[in-house]
Structure 1
Amino acid sequence: MLYIIGLGLADERDVSVKGLEIIRRAERVYLEAYTAILLVDQSQLESYYGRPIILADREMVESKSDEILSGALEKDVAFLVVGDPFSATTHTDLALRCRQHEPSIPTRTLPNASILTAVGATGLSLYSFGQTVSMVFFTDTWKPSSFYDRIAENASLGFHTLVLLDIKVKEPDLKALARGKIVYEPPRFMTVDQCASQMIEIEGERKQGVCANGKLAVGVARLGNADQQIIAGTLEELASADLGRPLHSLVLCGTKMHDMEWEYVREFAIDQAKFDSIWKAEYAGKG
């Protein structure tokens, strides 16, 4: 059987008891290592789990899944996922490949906390979130703005938008690749300030007010960990904020922010008086 096991968000101790039991008896243990990361390294996981771990990068999961599924009809194979197993479509695809295998490979999923639910620590109601969007690193020649349309749809309904920030792990250096050499760039993790800056930059092109400087937003980092950080303010304020090491996410607040949400979130405000003033002028009573 293939077990797809959610690890939660912080460290090796967030795994469920059921998950840990399966990991310790599995024939092989893989760790998906590119859609998200834990806040501890591989050796710490191996020490706690008492098992060696095989890192599964994008190439292995998407192009060499047969290696992962090999022997899963006769033995237990554990596939570990940071957060919840189905927070990324990559893992749905792996489960589908098990179904399509001849004969089909049985699967079992063990859920865990993900950013999609942990973001409730901000005090914003999960019932009031719209579509989740992703923000990629801009380059000098590539600045995709499709995220803006999804945020605009959410904003038209007064919904909050969770923005997931780009992760670059084991990305090939394109210049080296052009010379026939495979060289990987150092890992990069987008920060809240980078995300806010890119949102404001696209606002300058679209000019619809969706990601204007004065829009209220909440930045989060390392949710679920002892040193988690949550800050609130305008996009302009978040564009200068430093929340430390990864992973980061951002929430753009919708106008349906209830009084109770405001009361909770305001405690994280960079400038509480300014936050309160904007909320009362543009958000209060619109839910």
Structure 2
Amino acid sequence: MEEKTDKSTGVLYLIGLGLSTEQDITVRGLQVVKRCKHVYLEGYTSILGVEKSKLEEFYGREVELMDREAVESNSDEMLLAARTAEVAFLVVGDVYGATTHTDIALRAKEMGIRVEVIHNASIMNACGACGLQLYNFGQTVSLCFWTESWQPDSYIDKILLNKRNGMHTLCLLDIKVKEQSEENLIRGRKIFEPPRFMTVNQALEQLEQIVRRREDVRDVLDLRSTCVGLARVGQETQCIASGPLEELKSFDFGPPLHSLIIPAEMHPLEIDMLRSFNVKQ
């Protein structure tokens, strides 16, 4: 890592885009984007409800898409540009929704680059649309796609801890963008699999399997436990449905992105709100 220097005259702006359309960027964020010399879009930790071309049309600027490899391994070009010019790094949702973005901010500061953050809505707070109160949420967990040989279930322990402490759990569901198969990875072939986005239904199927094979969870979580599925939060086609795990898993939530909430003990107002999203309605 480069030593700190005070010679930087540029700025790296980390800008949240919100959850829905090109118009969800804040006024301040838009003003910054319009004057930046370079504009980059992080395109693998989440997806926006519109194409990149829509962003470019609205901003009046060309936007360079950065995939996982570019962000995690080859972001030097962006950081070097930010040493002498204003550079915008656009993130779907809020800036600090992924640890990758924290790493970029730290690297920039080590290089003596001024970093400014412009926040926006993310699933971490927009999940309150289901009526569950945000200050009643505990640790957030991530669910990844299972394979025949790899089926991690350690996340269930955090869900159980949250429930035992009377706290809801937001579950972020896996996104696979520009991933390689094991065979192509071993052979060094730059062939990528089609994008995959975990659905609420797949997440609930995982939970069902864990409940069936682990007796230690059944005093806290079972097939009748209330769950809440959310899809495309913040968009016009937003979908929210709640109900018992075994019933909710067959509900059609439509296209991505999906999230899942496992509620704990609820306040009467929370119960009333969830009734309005009951899967049987």
TM value normalised by structure 1: 0.92
Moved more, 202-211 or 8-17: 202-211
How far 1:229 moved relative to its partner? 0.4
Does the 8 Å contact 1:211/1:235 carry over to 2? no
Q: Residues of 1 paired with 2:47 and 2:109: CA distance? A: 27
How far 1:179 moved relative to its partner? 2.7
Does the 8 Å contact 2:14/2:115 carry over to 1? yes
How far 1:178 moved relative to its partner? 2.4
For these two proteins, the number of residue pairs brought into alignment is 269
How far 1:211 moved relative to its partner? 3.6
Q: Residues of 2 paired with 1:77 and 1:96: CA distance? A: 16
Give the 5 Å matches for 1:89-128: 89-101=99-111, 104-128=112-136
How far 1:205 moved relative to its partner? 2.2
- Report SS of the residue matched to 1:139: coil
Q: Residues of 1 paired with 2:221 and 2:110: CA distance? A: 43
How far 1:68 moved relative to its partner? 1.4
Which one of the candidate residues 261, 271, 274 is aligned to 1:262?
271
Moved more, 146-155 or 66-75: 66-75
Alignment match, 1:218: 228
Does the 8 Å contact 2:251/2:279 carry over to 1? no
Alignment match, 1:184: 192
Which one of the candidate residues 74, 83, 92 is aligned to 1:64?
74
How far 1:174 moved relative to its partner? 1.9
Q: Residues of 1 paired with 2:164 and 2:214: CA distance? A: 15
Does the 8 Å contact 1:173/1:184 carry over to 2? yes
Q: CA RMSD in A?
A: 1.0
Q: Residues of 2 paired with 1:48 and 1:141: CA distance? A: 45
Which one of the candidate residues 227, 242, 249 is aligned to 2:237?
227
Alignment match, 2:50: 40
Q: Residues of 1 paired with 2:81 and 2:53: CA distance? A: 25
What amino acid is the match of 1:150?
Answer: K
What amino acid is the match of 2:211?
Answer: E
What amino acid is the match of 1:193?
Answer: N
Q: Residues of 2 paired with 1:55 and 1:205: CA distance? A: 42
**Larger RCO, structure (CA 8 Å, separation 6 or more):** 2
Does residue 170 of structure 2 align to residue 158 of structure 1? no
Q: What do the CA deviations read for 1:192-239 (whole angstroms, capped 9, x no partner)?
A: 111111111112222222441111011010111111000000111121
Q: What do the CA deviations read for 1:81-120 (whole angstroms, capped 9, x no partner)?
A: 000001111111110001111xx10000000000010011
Q: What do the CA deviations read for 1:41-100 (whole angstroms, capped 9, x no partner)?
A: 111111111111111111111111211112212100000000000111111111000111
Alignment match, 1:198: 206
Which one of the candidate residues 5, 9, 19 is aligned to 1:9?
19
Does residue 65 of structure 2 align to residue 55 of structure 1? yes
Which one of the candidate residues 68, 88, 100 is aligned to 1:78?
88
- Report SS of the residue matched to 1:77: strand
Identity among equivalent pairs (%): 51
TM value normalised by structure 2: 0.93
What amino acid is the match of 1:140?
Answer: E
